[in-house]
């Protein structure tokens, strides 16, 4: 199992404990590009996708609902 596969599996298995840096890395892996953000927020978008990913850095982790949004995009675009 590669590092990428381990990271994707870890996010899928525990949405309550996803690091902010890992969420940003995975968003880029599935084709999203950082488009901005202010303060603790970072926004990612993908051309042709109406949904944006907005990650909030809360002590190094993203809130669970944002991790679930990332998982939905992983399911849609991974592979």
- For 13-60, what is each residue's pLDDT tens digit? 999 999 999 999 999 999 999 999 898 899 999 999 999 999 999 999
So what's the pLDDT on residue 78?
Answer: 80
Three-state SS across the chain? CCHHHHHHHHHHHCCCCCEHHHHHHHHHHCCCEEEECCCCEEEEECCCCCCCEEEECECCECCHHHHHHHHHHHHHHCC
CATH class held by domain 3-77: alpha beta
What's the pTM?
0.92
Which pLDDT score is estimated for 79?
A: 59
């Amino acid at each position: 199992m590669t590092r990428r596969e381990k990271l994707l599996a870890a996010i899928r298995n525990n949405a309550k404990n996803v690091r902010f840096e890992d969420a940003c890395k995975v968003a880029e892996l599935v084709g999203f590009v950082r488009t901005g953000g202010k303060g603790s927020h970072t926004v990612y978008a993908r051309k042709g996708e109406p949904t944006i990913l907005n990650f909030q850095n809360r002590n190094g982790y993203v809130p669970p609902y944002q991790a679930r949004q990332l998982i939905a995009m992983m399911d849609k675009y991974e592979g």
